[in-house]
Amino acid sequence: MQDATAAPGSLYIVGTPIGNLRDITLRALAILKTVDIVAAEDTRVTQGLLNAHGLRKKLLALHEHNEREATERLVADLAAGKSVAYVSDAGTPGVSDPGAHLARRVREAGLPVFAIPGPSAVATALSVAGVGDGRWLFHGFLPNKATARRKALEGLRALPYALVFYEAPHRVRECVADLAAVLGVAREIAIARELTKLFEQVHVCPLGEAEAWLAADENRCRGEFVLIVQGAPEPAADDLALRATLQALLAELPLKQAVALAVKLTGGKKNTVYELALELQKHGHPDDHPA
């Protein structure tokens, strides 16, 4: 087995638990034990983790408010031959957490950066949700304001990938309501809360039922959340052929004639073809398809 002792001048980006303090790898513990410096997003949180595993270390804070200065200090320490581990409050640094800037700067300085993988809420939620077909897109936190949130969701509406969001407990209901309003009520959502903790819960339902499920018990709105929404349905081959035909006809003919010809060519229902023609005229792009 490969040695897990920290090497001089190396940075280690270390994954830590997202709830259950035992969810930490042997390698992470060995690196945390042997590095010269542990840099942490919140030193009190990391102190708790180290105490739980019997480790005593001097900690240095690196969070979003001092990221630039603390990073330069660590680059200097690494260049002088010290070894450094970076941990965020929970899970994997760089995933909706600081860490990416540090990793980038250290690599730019020509110094080695090693991953010490551990849990992440996104991977943990996906592993138990059973939503989607394996293709997914991690969005992290949506904007706090409703208008910006809905706009962001519009941009995701047609993607055929399961969409993964992080959300705070005080916003989860309004977020789920917006998900249903913009992405449609029929898609499945997995509401995964308090993963790896005492009150871990994963509830899967149609988006249209999600807000009512949360509202039915105030405990369901407590804790930390990952939301996974099924991707947009792929359009059937028939739909794609009809769209392509209509698109070509609309480029040459007035709407009524294009519809009449498309009905003849594809055998589609007149009303359906007409509605699609109106939509194509409005939005126009051949690759677009409705959610």
Would you say the C-alpha torsion 85, 88, 90, 93 has a positive or negative sign?
A: negative
* Nearer Cβ to ligand SAM (85/121): 121
Nearer to ligand SAM, 83 or 120 (CB): 120
Q: How far is the CB of 127 from ligand SAM (least distance, A)?
A: 12
Residues near 228 by beta carbon (within 8 Å), at least 6 away in sequence: 125, 126, 129, 131, 132, 136, 162, 163, 164, 165, 189, 190, 192
Environment class of 284 (CB within 10 Å of its CB; exposed 0-12, middle 13-18, buried 19+): exposed
Interface ranges with ligand SAM (CB under 6 A): 18-19, 88, 90-92, 95-97, 120-122, 166-168, 192-197, 224-226
CB of 170 to ligand SAM, least distance (A): 11
- Cβ proximity to ligand SAM, 19 vs 184, nearer residue: 19
Q: Which is nearer to ligand SAM, 187 or 193 (CB)?
A: 193
And the tokens for 8? 């001089």
Which is nearer to ligand SAM, 87 or 259 (by Cβ)?
Answer: 87
Q: How far is the CB of 168 from ligand SAM (least distance, A)?
A: 6
Residue 103 or 249 having the CB closest to ligand SAM: 103
Judged by beta carbon, residue 195 or residue 258, the one nearer ligand SAM is 195
Q: Smallest distance, Å, CB 45 to ligand SAM? A: 11
Minimum distance of ligand SAM from residue 286's CB (angstroms): 37
Taking the complex as a whole, the smallest distance from the CB of residue 91 to ligand SAM amounts, in Å, to 2
Q: Minimum distance between the CB of residue 87 and ligand SAM, rounded to whole angstroms?
A: 10
162-167 and 113-116 as β-strands: parallel, antiparallel, unpaired? unpaired
